[in-house]
Copies of this chain bind each other. A is one copy, B any other.
């Protein structure tokens, strides 16, 4: 029984967060899962064009990493960014509307899946360029330090991105300037088709932290509490003005890299093995085990998430398309410059 255990045997997340916060975290994880499924389904039904990168299987990393952030804190995200949006309190209707290319979408239909952002909530945006968000996150941390806002920036990136020069330059600058940024590498074993073994000359990506004299930790990215424990400590450190950290969340994407992936580079066994380690199932179990939710409560969250997604899709579907005449709007802040 949880209440008879010693404090240190109680998982960090249970100690650190209120039942409401934890319930909300699980709610977000369900929302991400259902969002991705809804997006996939819409794609199959031809409602969405282009490409998309689903993060099913990685929900604990997105939600766990953002637990100690406020709307003042920033994140930079990646091409696989839907989960980060939801974790940072995005409006699901605006997300779907963006997918559907609507004027009501986060990017007014100009950006699509790879560019959803929500500056008001501190989400500086997904990025179509692998590694593109890394120096931008460092810049946001520089602003926070100079302007004294106390804000922290979490920079999400993938294992593949860790081999970009931008990774090296960004971590080095952040460390030399002691900036309040936390680099969260979501290591899902592959950059597209290329495994970390074939792309990355180090066992754990967090081991690269040594090269920047910053703390580095590798954690089970499907374990919500483990993610929260590691990232919260790094966020607190950053807030204390002690500089950046590198956290590596080991996780897995269940789906292909994008819609055109034929999964030739990995086995069915590997996929099903990882599906057996569903972060939502373990988070649900954690909350039930610690008396925070009942099984029915979990089921209710899931149903609720389905309804939210349904409503979001309806909102998106009913929304107007952008006007083609306005295609060059927003190239510049002051419009005549576009002429």
* Tier of interface size on chain A: 20 to 34
Number of copies: 2
Contacts of A199 in B (CB 8 A): 172, 176
A131 and chain B: residue at smallest CB distance: B165
Per the bound structure, the CA–CA distance linking A175 and B197 in Å amounts to 11
CB distance from A203 to the nearest CB of B (A): 7
Chain A facing B: main interface SS: helix
**Quick check: B164 and A176 within 8 Å, CB to CB?**
no
**Quick check: A203 and B213 within 8 Å, CB to CB?**
yes
Contacts of A164 in B (CB 8 A): 165, 168-169
Q: Is A214 interfacial (CB-CB < 8 Å)?
A: yes
**Contact string against B for A residues 165-195, beta-carbon threshold 8 Å, 1 for contact and 0 otherwise:** 1111101100110000000000000000000
**Quick check: A165 and B176 within 8 Å, CB to CB?**
no
Q: Is A282 interfacial (CB-CB < 8 Å)?
A: no
**Contact string against B for A residues 190-210, beta-carbon threshold 8 Å, 1 for contact and 0 otherwise:** 000000001111110001101
**Quick check: A201 and B207 within 8 Å, CB to CB?**
no
Q: Is A211 interfacial (CB-CB < 8 Å)?
A: yes
Contacts of A200 in B (CB 8 A): 172, 176
Given contacts A168-B168, A207-B210, contact A175 B201 (CB under 8 A): yes
Q: Is A163 interfacial (CB-CB < 8 Å)?
A: yes
**Quick check: A165 and B163 within 8 Å, CB to CB?**
no
Per the bound structure, the CA–CA distance linking A165 and B203 in Å amounts to 20
Interface centre among A166, A202, A203, A207 (most CB of B within 10 A): A202
A178 and chain B: residue at smallest CB distance: B201
A198's contact among B166, B167, B176, B207, by CB below 8 Å, is which?
A: B176
A175 and chain B: residue at smallest CB distance: B201
Per the bound structure, the CA–CA distance linking A201 and B210 in Å amounts to 9
Contacts of A224 in B (CB 8 A): none
Contacts of A165 in B (CB 8 A): 164-169
Given contacts A201-B214, A202-B211, contact A172 B176 (CB under 8 A): no
Q: Which A positions have Cβ atoms within 8 angstroms of B?
A: 163-169, 171-172, 175-176, 198-203, 207-208, 210-214
A sample of 9 more A-B contacts (CB under 8 A), given A165-B167, A167-B168, is A163-B168, A172-B201, A176-B199, A176-B201, A203-B213, A207-B211, A210-B210, A210-B211, A211-B211
